[in-house]
Amino acid sequence: MTAHIQVFNHHIQLPYLLLAVLEFALLMAAAYFSVVYNLVGFKYELFVFHVEAQQYALLYASVMLLATFSMGVHGAGLSDGFISMFVRTVVSYCLLGLAIMIVLSFVVPVSGVARGSLFMTVCSSLVLVMLLRWAFYSLVDMALLKRRILVLGAGVRAAKIIERIKAEPLQGSTIVGYVPTDSEPVGISSHLLLDPVGGIKHLVKKHHVDEILIAIDERRRDRGSFFPLEELLDCKLSGTRITEVVEFYEREFSRIELSEINTSWMILSDQFRYSQLRDKSKRLFDITVSLLLLSVMWPFMVLTALAIFLESGAPVLYSQQRVGYKGRVFPIYKFRSMRQDAEKDGKAVWAQQNDSRVTKVGAFIRNTRLDELPQIFNVLRGEMSFVGPRPERPEFVKDLSKQLPYYDARHRVKPGLMGWAQLKYSYGASVDDAANKLVYDLYYVKNHSSLLDLLIVVQSVEVVLLGKGVR
């Protein structure tokens, strides 16, 4: 049984999808009966079909599910426990989702029919959804939904996989064991090893393996080396998936592992390609979202400018040169969050944790991302996109391009206000941080699509509300 489905090159875990479908149906039911009850009371009309109530229920369920997803609720349920999931659900429903529905009640005509029952709808749906999740996590054996992986290899590459899993546990897969070969020294603990006696096909059948991950350090078939080509082919023809390490990292951790790729892999990969339709639709998305955001946020922009001026005077805005699409340099605009003399010697300096140059107002607008709002105009001018790798300063790009392989690949797409690396990794302030963020930027360059952009926008709400990745 596969634990993922792939939509527009993005892997979606099956347990999340199954739970989301059940929640969507429950949210619709809660909204529908709350609205009808508010309209007719507890009468026989309660069970008569109402078109407006159905339309509202569809809107309500969509908003609440997006709010849930933006707060990382389902991921918290598996990684942080039920309490964390409950707290995030309350925030997503009672703050984020409720606020959106209140705004929509004055904008979308069908929402007006439920204005009086909105609070009851939120409360009832919160109780029902939490009961559903409790039943789901109690009754469903999540291990049965996970892909069972056998790793062929027990050397350096296999040890790196173990370290990565320790840092970020697998959500939709489980490793059943590692099979050593005689072409590499064993570099992992013996209790993780599987006895290769009987062959790969025997191990696949014995451990109900869905996938074989090739992680051998040296795959040349030198004299005396062990590489079961015929057995692997038999397994593949029998339905067992064969996967390379780079694909495993991409699917499980949404990153492109630098040590596992080369130039030929990037050239031959299906996803590294140009699409005029995608560019046009992305530009339309950028303009639409930017104008909507500007129409909502302009009062906050005015208040931010006023607060900066009252604390530390003019200028309230500052610009920096950044490297954009195809290496073109352009000025990026921000609200000033540091002292005027933050770089008095004219030399570019990485931002640090608890940076002493940051003002009190600056700390607040950094945590709330208000300092980034002037970049909406960069998006409208076409220098940036709403979603993409964050643009870096030319001084840093020059050094990072020399030290990090494939760093310039980030410039094959437009830089963005928000990015995949910002969701997956904290603020970068060193070469090591830049390398850790690059693996996620390359994932975005390879797989960027309208769906992935939407996922990033929605999940970025959690970053803003919880202040993640800020310095």
Stretch 168-190: mean pLDDT: 86
Q: What is the pLDDT of residues 284-339, one digit of tens each?
A: 889 988 898 888 889 999 999 999 888 888 888 888 899 999 999 999 998 888 87
Q: What is the pLDDT of residues 227-248, one digit of tens each?
A: 788 889 998 888 889 999 988 9
The reported pLDDT for the residue numbered 1 is 46
Stretch 355-363: mean pLDDT: 78
pLDDT at 3 over 60: no
* Nearest alpha-carbon partner for 384 in 290, 273, 277, 261: 290
Stretch 163-192: mean pLDDT: 87
Measured CA to CA, the distance from residue 82 to residue 88 in angstroms comes to 10
CA-angle at 8, arms to 73 and 413, nearest 5°:
95
Q: What is the pLDDT of residues 118-133, one digit of tens each?
A: 888 888 888 998 898 8
Stretch 72-78: mean pLDDT: 60
Measured CA to CA, the distance from residue 97 to residue 67 in angstroms comes to 6
Q: Are 154 and 128 in contact (CB under 8 A)?
A: no
Q: Are 74 and 94 in contact (CB under 8 A)?
A: no
Average pLDDT along the chain:
80
pLDDT at 280 over 60: yes
For residue 314, give both structure tokens. 């003019």
For residue 200, give both structure tokens. 């790969």
Q: What percent of the chain has pLDDT over 90?
A: 18
Q: What is the pLDDT of residues 29-64, one digit of tens each?
A: 888 888 777 766 555 455 556 777 888 889 889 988
Measured CA to CA, the distance from residue 458 to residue 10 in angstroms comes to 15
The reported pLDDT for the residue numbered 49 is 65
The reported pLDDT for the residue numbered 323 is 94
The reported pLDDT for the residue numbered 345 is 59
Give the confidence band of 179 by pLDDT, cuts at 50, 70, 90: very high
**CATH 3.40.50 domain extents, the chain:** 146-253
Q: For 111-134, b where at least 16 C-beta lie within 10 A, e where not — what string?
A: bebbeebbeebbebbbeebbebbe
Q: What class does CATH assign to 146-253?
A: alpha beta
Total count of residues recorded for the chain: 471
* Nearest alpha-carbon partner for 215 in 154, 133, 169, 259: 154
Q: What is the pLDDT of residues 377-415, one digit of tens each?
A: 999 999 999 999 999 999 889 989 989 888 988 898 999
CA distance to 259, 346, 422, per residue, from 405 (Å): 9, 28, 20
The reported pLDDT for the residue numbered 470 is 46
Give the confidence band of 224 by pLDDT, cuts at 50, 70, 90: very low
Q: How many other C-beta atoms are found inside a 10 Å radius of the C-beta of residue 194?
A: 19
Stretch 250-260: mean pLDDT: 86
Stretch 84-97: mean pLDDT: 77
| Sequence-separated (6 or more) residues with CB below 8 Å from residue 259 | 160
The reported pLDDT for the residue numbered 275 is 74
Q: What percent of the chain has pLDDT over 70?
A: 78
User: Which residues, in sequence order, are bridge partners of residue 7?
Assistant: 10
Amino acid letter for position 291: L
Measured CA to CA, the distance from residue 425 to residue 391 in angstroms comes to 16
* Nearest alpha-carbon partner for 259 in 215, 297, 302, 222: 215
pLDDT at 467 over 60: no
Give the confidence band of 80 by pLDDT, cuts at 50, 70, 90: low
- Torsion sign (Cα): 123, 124, 126, 130: positive
Give the confidence band of 221 by pLDDT, cuts at 50, 70, 90: very low
CA distance to 286, 290, 418, per residue, from 382 (Å): 9, 11, 15
**Cα dihedral angle (7, 9, 10, 12), rounded to 10 degrees?**
40
Lowest mean pLDDT of 76-80, 164-168, 250-254, name the range: 76-80
> To 10 degrees, what angle do helices 51-70 and 118-139 make?
60
* Nearest alpha-carbon partner for 416 in 442, 448, 379: 379
